[in-house]
Structures are given as structure tokens and as C-alpha cells.
Amino acid sequence: MTRIVEIEIEKYLSTKEYNPSPHRFSPSETPVAERTIPIVYSCENCGCQISFKPDDFKKHNNSKNTNLQKNDKIIIDKYIKNSIDLFNLPSLDFYCPNCNQPTTILFKGGPSGYWGIFELEIEKILGLKKNRIEVTINFKILESNPISGKFDEKYFGETDTNPLWIRFTSNDFSDWVGSFASGDIGLSNSKIIEIDNTSKVGILINGAFYLIDRSLKELIFKPDQGYFTDFYLVPDIELLILATNWGIHIFKDKEIIKEIRPDFVDGVKFIKRKENLLTGEICEPTENGDDWSEFELNLQTLKLKWKKYEY
């Protein structure tokens, strides 16, 4: 089964129009100089950023060319034909280079002004969701050690007499349990995050971090250190960011590429990512308890800004 989603333009597009005319019709219109070109679409499904030039739209304005496979195109076309607003609009379509989601941008375009420069306005973005790539994974932390032989078992990390057991089940019929050893400095924490549309799962357990492939039941990466307190995965640029009580370790391709250690801190946590910025909080111990304040990590430059400092 598949379904079409109408993607919120305001949320996922840097700008929805390109108007080269220097004239403004009303004072509330943004002057041309401030209009953002290229047009950047952040994939609704995975966050991957895809840029377009006005010429990309111009090429598709009078052409029926498609970049989609026939089956996907048919489903999207059927949706468009049933809509009075979208019927007959030119379109630009593509597969997201990261998650492969079929996406169609519908726009109005044409020559404008005295010079006839191509202008455009994006009317709608459609995404095609496919259930076959939406395998729902469920995982459950087991309260006690599983009965030997009941499940397919897989061990991760060094021997641990009291590991965390996680049972992975999914609608592709797999069912197995993994045993994950704790880290090494007596931390007590756990966090499990699946990467959308992949079979990768990040697992933090008492200081130890594991990136596994739950379909293959294999370890992809585990740093040697066991003192982590939080993690954030950025799949589109393959970054792994791990927090410790004293700073941040940034990994790319299983190699550490940057370590940030601000002075006199006592904890780091990640909150959310918006485009290229990952925000979080850093804790400073004070006489009256802990004081958490926000930081921003630029995922492109890997520069971290916190209070008046930059690392």
C-alpha cells in the first residue's frame, strides 16, 4: 500500500517563489534582494536538503519529463488528476537522494515583466509514502534475561553479567533479542533511537553506545569508550554526536573528527535539530544546583556556540 502526503510548503521550503522583477506591488512584499535563491527543499521524510535553481523549474515548465519510475509516477499522476487545483500544473519530480522518497513539486511558472525573465511560484509538494519501506520496528526492553533458546540471541559489547536485553520485532517477521553490555564508569542511562527508513538503531546503555543494523543483527559501530550520556544521529551527513559529562565527541565514518571540552561543565544533552543546527543544553554546576543553558552546534561547520564561547 502507498499513500500520498501533501507536504507543508512553509515548513520544508526555504522560499516558495522566485520573482526576478525588481518592482514590488505592495510594501509588505519582500524586496528581491532578500528572496532566497536557491530554493532549498528539506526532505519531509529525512531532512536531507535539496537545492533548486529557477532554471530547473524553467526546464520542466513545458515538459512532461519525469525522474520517477513508471509505477510511482502513475500513483502521483492519479492524485493530481483528481485535484482541480493541481490538474495541469507543471511539475518537477525526484527521489530524495538520502531516503529515496518520491517527491513531486507542482508550480506555476512563466515569463515576467518587461524582460520576460522566468518567474515561478510553488503551489504544492507531494510525497509518496510506501509501506514497503515503512517497516515498523518495535523494540522492548526485557525486564529479565530471556529464557535460553526462546529467541534468536545476539551479544554486543564486552561480557556483562547484567546486560540490557532488547527484543526487536517488526512487521517483516523478524524477532530476535540483543544483549547490550553497559559502559565502564557506572553511569545509569538508556536511549534507543531508530533511524527512519533504515534498519539502523542507535542504542545508549549505561554509558556504552551501539549503532546496530537490526535486520542483519550486526554491530555497525561502537566507540571504545563507555562514558557517554546522550547521542544524536545525523544520518544524511553520517554524523554521530555523543555527549559526555564534560563535552562532545563528533564521529564521522567511525572516526572521531572533533572533540569539544568546555571548561567547568557537568553535563551535556541534545534537544533538537533544525536544518543545520543541533541545539542542546550544557550544565554548569553552581552553589544552588545545576544550571542548564542552551548551545547550538552547526552540523556543517561543527562549530559550537555556547554563551559567549565558540569552540
Contact positions vs Zn ion (CB under 5 A): 43, 45-46, 48, 96, 98-99, 101
In this complex, which beta carbon is closest to Zn ion, that of residue 35 or of residue 273?
273
Cα–Cα separations (whole angstroms), residue 170 to 154, 176, 210: 17, 10, 20
Query: What single letter denotes the amino acid at residue 262?
Result: P
CB of 1 to Zn ion, least distance (A): 20
In this complex, which beta carbon is closest to Zn ion, that of residue 15 or of residue 100?
100
Neighbours of 76 (CB within 10 A): 23
In this complex, which beta carbon is closest to Zn ion, that of residue 100 or of residue 245?
100
Select from 136, 134, 107 the least CA-distant residue to 123: 107
In this complex, which beta carbon is closest to Zn ion, that of residue 41 or of residue 228?
41
Can you tell me the distance from the alpha carbon of 79 to that of 102, in angstroms, rounded to the nearest whole number?
14
CB of 157 to Zn ion, least distance (A): 32
CB of 103 to Zn ion, least distance (A): 8
Query: What single letter denotes the amino acid at residue 269?
Result: K
Output the CA angle 12-294-283, nearest 5 degrees.
Answer: 140
CB 59, CB 42: distance < 8 Å: no
In this complex, which beta carbon is closest to Zn ion, that of residue 46 or of residue 250?
46
- Ramachandran sector of residue 219 (left: φ over 0; alpha: ψ -120 to 50; beta: rest): beta
Can you tell me the distance from the alpha carbon of 272 to that of 282, in angstroms, rounded to the nearest whole number?
14
CB of 129 to Zn ion, least distance (A): 11
Handedness of CA 227, 233, 237, 243 (dihedral sign): negative
In this complex, which beta carbon is closest to Zn ion, that of residue 45 or of residue 179?
45
Query: What single letter denotes the amino acid at residue 186?
Result: G
CB of 202 to Zn ion, least distance (A): 18
CB of 252 to Zn ion, least distance (A): 19
